[in-house]
Structure 1
Amino acid sequence: MTEIPPDVPPGYQPPPVYAYQPPPPRNDRRNLGLIILVAVLGLLVVAGGALVVLRAAPADEPAAQPVAAAPAGDPVGAAPTGAADWPELEVHPAGAELILQGHAQNTATWIHFTNETAGTVVVKWVGYDQQRIFYQELAPGESYDQPTYLGHVWIVTRPDGTPFAVFEATGEPSRATIR
């Protein structure tokens, strides 16, 4: 039996056969924005981790003296002479740094610290965030002049960090005798 092909209309051509071609790349700015967002979030996470590590470091380790302990633009200058004639600061009990506010009043002043104890003491500034910042270590009989500002709180500790005495700067140069 012979098969008869179906009737094909004139001019009919079978569809062409094409080789597979991948779609052209998309020029989509949303992907770029997403990549930038992920990169920024990654940087924030890394910076936050670094801050946590820095905050976890012991606060009583000696560090470089902070540059910005005093408000900028208000230089203290050289220490006035005659510390022996300066009034004595009130000695607050150990732990009083948590009670005293320690807000600077932009009035420059000085404290003359003198160690009259038989052991070494450490002088630290209590920052605005209540963190103790190392400034000076004094052997028995040593003293030094510390520029500061009205209202700044200073704590004197033993080398192991145990609080010994607390002083708050007044508006005039004063003495802080550690006994």
Structure 2
Amino acid sequence: MTEKLPDVPPGYQPPPIVAYQPPPPPPDRKRTGLIVAASVLGALLAAGGALVVLRAAPADPAPPAAAAPVGPAAAGTAELAAVPAGDEWRLKSAENGATTSIHFSNETAGPVKILWLGYDRERVFYTELAPGQGYDQQTYAGHVWVVTRADGTTIAAFQATAAPARATVR
């Protein structure tokens, strides 16, 4: 029988025969468990440390707290010019002013509310003054304070200066 073998293209090489390679051994479960345990412990310690730092850190800076009512301001403090009620929209509290104070005096016939005009131009209530009452407010130069009647109608606004000053509500 003379059968002809199929034509094999030139340069054809059969794939090499590779000896059997067993799969790699499974990882050492004991070592893996130790690594996982150490990682979890490290994460817990880091979270606990962060919690301690967060509890010790001060909260976001809030506007200055209202002081207790006191008598008239010391002599020699300058009088702040009242910004007319209609011009409040053009004022904005500065963010980097030096510490100062304003002594508010209510010389109207009714109660007034003292509000801080926040950085976002939102009003933040601080206190209410009865007629004839005054108090000192710790603040920062450039902060804007709005004075309203009890019903919320704006009377005037005052912008704090670097030196302590008086704000008389008339």
Q: State the TM-score, normalized to the length of structure 1.
A: 0.55
Corresponding position of 1:116: 107
Measured in 1, the distance between the counterparts of 2:61 and 2:87 equals 25
- Richer in strand (by share): 2
**Bigger CA drift: 144-153 or 94-103?**
94-103
**1:82 Cα deviation (Å)?**
5.3
Measured in 1, the distance between the counterparts of 2:148 and 2:111 equals 9
The counterpart of 2:63, out of the listed 60, 65, 69, is 69
- Quick check: 1:177 aligned with 2:162? no
**1:100 Cα deviation (Å)?**
1.4
1:84 match: secondary structure: coil
**1:115 Cα deviation (Å)?**
0.2
1:95 match: secondary structure: helix
Please tell me whether Structure 1 or Structure 2 has the larger radius of gyration of its CA atoms. Answer: 2
**1:132 Cα deviation (Å)?**
0.6
Corresponding position of 2:117: 126
**1:166 Cα deviation (Å)?**
0.4
CA contact (8 A) 1:83 1:112 kept: no
CA contact (8 A) 1:95 1:166 kept: no
Change (3 A) 1:67 1:122: farther
Partner amino acid for 1:127? G
**1:85 Cα deviation (Å)?**
2.0
For residues 60-111 of structure 1, what are the alpha-carbon distances to aligned partners after superposition, in whole Å with 9 as ceiling and x for unaligned?
Answer: xxxxxx97114xxxxxxxx9x9523210001100032210121132300000
2:83 match: secondary structure: coil
Unaligned runs of 5+ in 1: 1-65, 71-78
Partner amino acid for 1:169? A
Partner amino acid for 2:167? A
For residues 92-143 of structure 1, what are the alpha-carbon distances to aligned partners after superposition, in whole Å with 9 as ceiling and x for unaligned?
Answer: 0003221012113230000000001111100000001111110010000000
Corresponding position of 1:97: 88
The counterpart of 1:142, out of the listed 120, 133, 138, is 133
User: Structure 1: which 4+ aligned runs deviate by more than 3 Å?
Assistant: none
Q: State the TM-score, normalized to the length of structure 2.
A: 0.57
Corresponding position of 2:21: none
Measured in 2, the distance between the counterparts of 1:139 and 1:167 equals 19
Corresponding position of 1:74: none
**Bigger CA drift: 143-152 or 100-109?**
100-109
Partner amino acid for 1:170? T
Number of residue pairs matched? 105
CA contact (8 A) 2:101 2:165 kept: yes
Unaligned runs of 5+ in 2: 1-59, 65-69
Measured in 2, the distance between the counterparts of 1:119 and 1:92 equals 20
RMSD: 2.1
The counterpart of 2:98, out of the listed 92, 99, 107, is 107
